[in-house]
Structure 1
């Protein structure tokens, strides 16, 4: 059975009734089968229950950022001290998620879903967020692929005739789905005239089609929740998930979640986030790339917290080491998993020496994680699975390390916000510009996960580059290490030289949109305010 032709689960008689209050702005072939009236009714009720609070939380984000822009600093909350000091744990971790030593992530196209589930990783995180450009076609194709994966009959035939099919279910990775964050709308679905939250659309449609089948197999459904900034945002997800469970007749707490700690404000509320989701949360994850981006965004107006070029901001830097170790201590105290971060490297097939150097960096990173006490880690490419697995197998023969309490760790507010030291080279500046432009062009063309210079770039890594360019330009007296002032003239020269440097654009993902991407990066870099997310203005340019 192909990825675009499969049977959907039967629905009751209500499926034939019209759904008031909702409008779909686009109509693609197969859309009605994915979004029958019953599913639309769930979206309507969910939106009406959650949207006012979502908008309030987004307003709270803006107020908090204004405080930071005025010189304020994040800190642990005094009003939640009782939660941090309290003696409580999260609900038991399901059997299927006890061992998560290697997880692979990627977009939701059928080929990726099949390869990832067959990859030998313990978990596959199917990513509707940073790895997927949210064209309407991509979103529907992704939902179809995941339905086929849950049913076990997903197949795909490439243009060259190569066929892809799933291994037996007991040989597959456990499926987790990452919806979009609270800040992203789904403009193709209007409810009472307003767009639904992209993340609510992603989770609700997936759960509508798959939750009962996954429940019957003791496989969740399971989710990764991205870009939370506070316990209140976590509590809002608790409300949303409870609403879906009630609508679908699932037991409360059936839908389990792992939360990515990938914003600087969230690291100060890890106990509180675990507590808000304590009946369904199974772990936290060090979303390192988005975390670095969030550090840049939080301190965009703080001249004393300008970071060096991206390649020098590694997990051995003190503020990132503190973040990682505090996450381990927090999770294990509460009975949850502490997941490590992403290895973004991809194989360098034409240079054995360079490939070995890259793999050595991956091994060192995974050794750091497992010896620190992490319960598992992420990779972006299947070739890294045996590399990461070998490190974790050697140092973690048991399913996890939740018994490693890291009571030796003491982390203060200042430890978490202290900037790393380093330099900004010309190559580092030009590399940021190239990554931004190439990723943006691909994203605008419908591709959200792009290999660039032997690294798998997604929205998170591109955001680091984009935010650094803006901050370097808008902070007085920031120079390259050769003494060159970082100013708009330098940016213009770099942008002007880029098309020739890239060569034949037709060989690049989104090559026909390079000029559009250059213009968008130029505008974003000149803006008086750093845009919250690169994907917000870019979203207006797709579909």
Structure 2
């Protein structure tokens, strides 16, 4: 890894014309309209990206493991000394907001499915994040089907008929939400697509197919190819993405700087490199987002072996907790100092038909969004179209006619690395309800994910992979520190597996239980549940015939 004081401007990668073309194979069975996405030219484009960057990705994943080991061994957690000059330099700013990303007061997220796409684009939100990562179970059909949904949405030829016969079409009055795309994280592979005999990095597959087919279309429509980048852990991973953007634009003849990307700060190690991440992506940056559940998940993964990082039930960890306040206030200050948007966290509540429960849910959302708007965030996330009006109302009340509040530089904020780790004041033993709730959510989400659903309404919340991750790692942490005994967890696991089978007779209870045991009950904590579950359950090879390039 480089140890230079100030990262040098990222040069354009060397053209690949002289390099041998990678050999690309599609191993999955062909599906309806898949040929529109998996064209020879698109596969060559993805192959070029993989050929240029796969080795660096592997090296960076190795550095993740080494850094995790160093932190577990007691290495200090601090702002990087090597980049102090970047943080001290007041002169640099990120690129100005791109068309369609100036006003982001409400953003809606969800998987790239037809029904979600139509409802999200029509919802009144300013931005829709089409999520190939936490909200999508990456079956091959979902991955390629999602690309088709985005293509159809940009071409405005998408519609949807619900199970009750209700028809949804794109509105013709007013603006539709600006589309951004969240590809899968660097840690995942796409096993249905091989490049030179190896599974392609899933992030480059999702990015590459969308960019190849939709970048020019988005530019022609007055926007551009916009992205959300998940699970980044440091500035080097941001630099890799910036190099991907530069090469992709070069290969398609698109002006450098057309791409914009918002980075989710959802790992504890990224929290002390926010400025560096913006700096690496500055010509392509669209800001930062507070990914709260993954952030807690990362905190436990990184420091969960220590008793002073023992967290209570996730329902008791609010955004007003001191260490969470430090995280969000640092994010706003960092973004606004550099001219970047700061986007708040997810409101995952699902509107209820029960009036009392509905009002209680809306009250929680209102308090959360009022805090964000008053703290200086420029917008926030919701998971359900029914929450868009409330979120817009709150931010309208603070922003008025202004598109953002970048002028609020929050010079009053001073956050140290110790502030980001100040969890002791909220430490509390888990409640019986919390233990059972985590097991119940993890099992039900795992079952849905194995059946191809990545966003699932459970107990009044829209749950995705991030909430399943925090649920299972909390069980692991509580067992490790013996604040919950193993016999209790196994008894609750038995009961919840039985309940799952009763509620959903088609559920693969044995597979779900085995996944929970491997990812929550073993001595060593797997970094993610998704790679193991993907390889065991979602990969469906159909042979090599007809799939080679």
Counterpart in the other structure of 1:329: 333
CA 1:115–1:19 in structure 2 vs 1: closer, same or farther (change >3 Å)?
A: farther
Counterpart in the other structure of 2:370: 367
CA contact (8 A) 1:312 1:422 kept: no
1:492 corresponds to which of 490, 507, 529? 490
CA contact (8 A) 1:28 1:137 kept: no
How far off its partner does 1:531 sit?
A: 0.6
Distance 1:442 1:265 in 2: 30
Counterpart in the other structure of 1:61: 64
How far off its partner does 1:500 sit?
A: 3.7
Counterpart in the other structure of 1:527: 522
Query: Is 1:180 aligned with 2:201?
Result: no
In terms of mean alpha carbon deviation, does 166-175 or 194-203 score higher? 166-175
Q: Secondary structure at the match of 2:332?
A: helix
How far off its partner does 1:413 sit?
A: 1.0
What TM-score do you get using the length of structure 1 for normalisation? 0.92
2:42 corresponds to which of 31, 39, 42? 39
CA contact (8 A) 2:350 2:384 kept: yes
How far off its partner does 1:423 sit?
A: 3.4
Q: Deviations over 1:341-369 (max 9, x none)?
A: 001111121x2112211111111000100
Counterpart in the other structure of 2:135: 131
Query: Is 1:467 aligned with 2:470?
Result: no
Distance 1:500 1:183 in 2: 33
1:501 corresponds to which of 499, 509, 534? 499
Query: Is 1:381 aligned with 2:390?
Result: no
Distance 1:391 1:158 in 2: 31
Counterpart in the other structure of 1:24: 26
Q: Deviations over 1:61-99 (max 9, x none)?
A: 000111122233421000000000012111111242111
Distance 1:20 1:235 in 2: 23
Distance 1:421 1:529 in 2: 23
Unaligned runs of 5+ residues in structure 2 are: 1-19, 540-549
Query: Is 1:518 aligned with 2:510?
Result: no
CA contact (8 A) 1:152 1:169 kept: no
CA 1:501–1:159 in structure 2 vs 1: closer, same or farther (change >3 Å)?
A: closer
Query: Is 1:85 aligned with 2:81?
Result: no
How far off its partner does 1:163 sit?
A: 2.2
Counterpart in the other structure of 2:10: none
How far off its partner does 1:121 sit?
A: 0.6
How far off its partner does 1:422 sit?
A: 3.1
In terms of mean alpha carbon deviation, does 233-242 or 213-222 score higher? 213-222
CA contact (8 A) 2:109 2:130 kept: yes
How far off its partner does 1:383 sit?
A: 0.9
Q: Secondary structure at the match of 1:97?
A: coil
Query: Is 1:447 aligned with 2:453?
Result: yes
How far off its partner does 1:55 sit?
A: 0.3
How far off its partner does 1:254 sit?
A: 0.6
Counterpart in the other structure of 1:9: none
How far off its partner does 1:527 sit?
A: 1.8
Counterpart in the other structure of 1:303: 307
CA contact (8 A) 2:497 2:513 kept: no
Distance 2:462 2:83 in 1: 38
The aligned runs of 1:67-466 (5 Å cut-off) are 67-87=70-90, 88-168=92-172, 170-349=174-353, 351-397=354-400, 398-419=402-423, 420-466=426-472
Unaligned runs of 5+ residues in structure 1 are: 1-17, 479-485
Q: Deviations over 1:230-283 (max 9, x none)?
A: 000000000111111111110001111111101000010000000000001011
Q: Deviations over 1:11-35 (max 9, x none)?
A: xxxxxxx975111111222322211
How far off its partner does 1:414 sit?
A: 0.7
CA contact (8 A) 2:105 2:403 kept: yes
Q: Secondary structure at the match of 1:146?
A: helix
How far off its partner does 1:426 sit?
A: 0.1
Distance 2:22 2:374 in 1: 55
How far off its partner does 1:213 sit?
A: 1.2
CA contact (8 A) 2:99 2:223 kept: no
CA 1:491–1:73 in structure 2 vs 1: closer, same or farther (change >3 Å)?
A: farther
Distance 1:170 1:246 in 2: 34
Distance 1:294 1:145 in 2: 31
Distance 1:73 1:439 in 2: 36
Counterpart in the other structure of 2:55: 52
Q: Secondary structure at the match of 2:223?
A: coil
Large movers: runs of 4+ above 4 Å? none
CA 1:93–1:404 in structure 2 vs 1: closer, same or farther (change >3 Å)?
A: same
Counterpart in the other structure of 2:15: none
Q: Deviations over 1:142-178 (max 9, x none)?
A: 1001000011111223344332211238521111110
How far off its partner does 1:338 sit?
A: 0.6
Distance 1:117 1:202 in 2: 20
Q: Secondary structure at the match of 1:27?
A: coil
Distance 2:485 2:76 in 1: 27
Aligned residues: 514
Distance 1:422 1:218 in 2: 51
CA contact (8 A) 1:71 1:302 kept: no
Q: Secondary structure at the match of 1:326?
A: helix
Q: Deviations over 1:274-333 (max 9, x none)?
A: 000000101100011111111111112112111111101110000000000000000000
How far off its partner does 1:44 sit?
A: 1.1
